[in-house]
Structure 1
Amino acid sequence: MPLPLYLLALAVFAMGTSEFMLAGLLPDIASDLDITVGTAGLLTSAFAIGMIVGAPLVAALARSWPRRPVLLGFVLVFAVAHAVGAGTMSFPVLLATRVVAALANAGFLAVALTTAAGLVSPDRKGRALAVLLSGTTVATIAGVPAGAVLGTALGWRATFWAVAVLCLPAALGILKGIPAGRAENEAVGRPALRAELAQLTRPRLVLMMLLGALVNAATFGSLTFLAPVVTDSAGLGELWISVALVLFGTGSFVGVTVAGRLSDRNPGPVIAVGGPLLLIGWPAVAVLASKPVALFTLVFVQGALSFALGSTLITRVLYEAADAPTMAGSYATAALNVGAAAGPVVAATTLGTEAGVLGPLWASGLLVAVALFIAFPLLTVIAAGRNTEVLR
């Protein structure tokens, strides 16, 4: 894999740390700003909504701009948004900074996904996506737990400042590692924007985006409210939240790495095997949440399964959107973040039920069940790729 791909992954690491870190900071934020944990969970949804809106919008605006300054600008805006968020005492302002950061993240990821796919041969998109998403999974292994520890020791604001500082080496990496191509050179052979947007009328592309969104909704629905499961259901101290996040992140790294080697040529087995296991896993976490060893083991497994299945489906989005070279990344980003926005909202509605803090886990199981109900009758279509004419 080319070096610029790993430099893009460094920036994704900084942004992934921010996107996932709220899973360990929500109780502290809620207490500091005098709001409920459920309300604080809206920060995750606001970020995801900004990603959904920003991915296609910013990608469309930036499609005629040179990629290096565009990527650099997004990283710097992301850093400034976190600096403002770290200093505010107002929840609405904090919410607004999450939206701005999300727009920057969306623009970056949409352009980065397209850039990453262009750095490798057409049959290695899955591998390239795995490298890029490894920035996110390493963030869950190292960045997010470190942020949780920092938040526990110094408060959630320190974590926001740390993310802002983390963006600086990422920006330097982009400046030094991404070629300074001219916009007119990058635009050679590029379809018109209308033609790229027309790809969204293809049923198989919409199917892949829907399935990716559902699986990601399940992932974010439980991950956002994992902290109270660890402290309330398992009865452990706050520092154990970081242990759970490390295990989830380690599992996600394993899952995306393995899936990256299979999703280009053999996506069917990943979905056929990983899907049912993921479905069983979320209710199992709910049932065994009071047993720390079982809880942590299942958190690792669910991290692996969630990212293996999710990254495979998002890779299929890139393949199905091959005729939209500048917008494909935004379609994949939008699919990921429709799920990231909907998941915490659906999960939050269960917190006031008899299930309590375990409600999000049951909701995640239901979301995966819906995805599999849609996917399994069409598994041969999903596995076949773009050459199959079914559903065209």
Structure 2
Amino acid sequence: MSRKLRVAVVFGGHSGEHDVSLRSAQAILRHIDRERFEPVPIGITRDGQWLVGGDPLRELAAQSRLPLEGADGSESGCASGSTGARVLAVPEPFWSGEVDVVFPVLHGPYGEDGTIQGMLELAGLPYVGCGVLASAVAMDKPTAKRLFTSAGLDQARWLVFTWHEWERERSALIEHIERELGFPCFVKPANLGSSVGVSKVRDRPELVAAVELANRYDRRILVEEGIDARELEVSVLGNEEPVASIVGEIVPSREFYDYEAKYIDTGSQLLIPAPISPDQAETVRRMAIEAFRVIDGAGMARVDFFLERPTGRILINEVNTIPGFTAISMYPKLWEASGLCFRDLITRLIELALERHREQRRRRSA
């Protein structure tokens, strides 16, 4: 009998999405097929230390804003104190041959943006998900939007500026935002996810406060027009021949699907499948695959859309290359509704990582 593949599940990290990453890792560790794979949990603290051995997930969760989840998806407490994990300055298992494939579950900067992907490329290790280019492009919202425009994918109007520009030209920028986008609008850090640092803005004072909040997370600030729309999501899976799941809809418990509505409140609804027409669903799925290909995606992504209520227009919002894997996350839920259970989804993602790595090695050795 062949030995089990050792799969390093890497979670935590520097970004504002640290806590969400722990929940995603917990779900993957819970559902991975242990008859085929031996999971190796590797945690990264908020200050960049690597935790290996023992129970790094529980150790990081003791300081988390979000409790870990019980087997039924409910929140469960987490004991504090040391769990026997070793603290390393560098990811020793990657260089020592202790793992066969890596499953990064690092949402946001320093994980979803091409940084760890580049390190794994240097280490010669296969890893789940998009490569360096696609990860970096999708994480940088303005860059992704420019590529979507070049591909002819409709999207809401937007503009981007730096904090330096804001300090130097604040009055002019406010007037430009009012003239070109109007109120309400949304203000976001250019590089982040899970709706961290996102604000809905209705007037000038709220705009100033929202820009200051976004600047805590990024030197570049993205502003998007507010539209009356439903929020649709679709999951993409594959390498050279990606496929799209059925379409789901988010009905947020708050005015928009912010961090609290996603992970803290319990009133948000996930409608699977989304109550839209077959033609609309097909358009969303086609656009999702096109966006995935535009950024040169691989493995997985969740693609988010707006369905404008007054016009019926379908607008792409963004591509998430390491989507959430929590008990309430759309990515695994959409695949489950499409006929692929959580365990088999994880297996397929690992297979895609190995396939992509073999193809890369073949080209390098040619």
Q: Would you say same fold, with TM above 0.5?
A: no
TM-score (norm 2): 0.29
Higher RCO, Cα 8 Å, sep 6+: 1
Instruction: Return the structure number with greater strand share.
Output: 2
TM-score (norm 1): 0.28
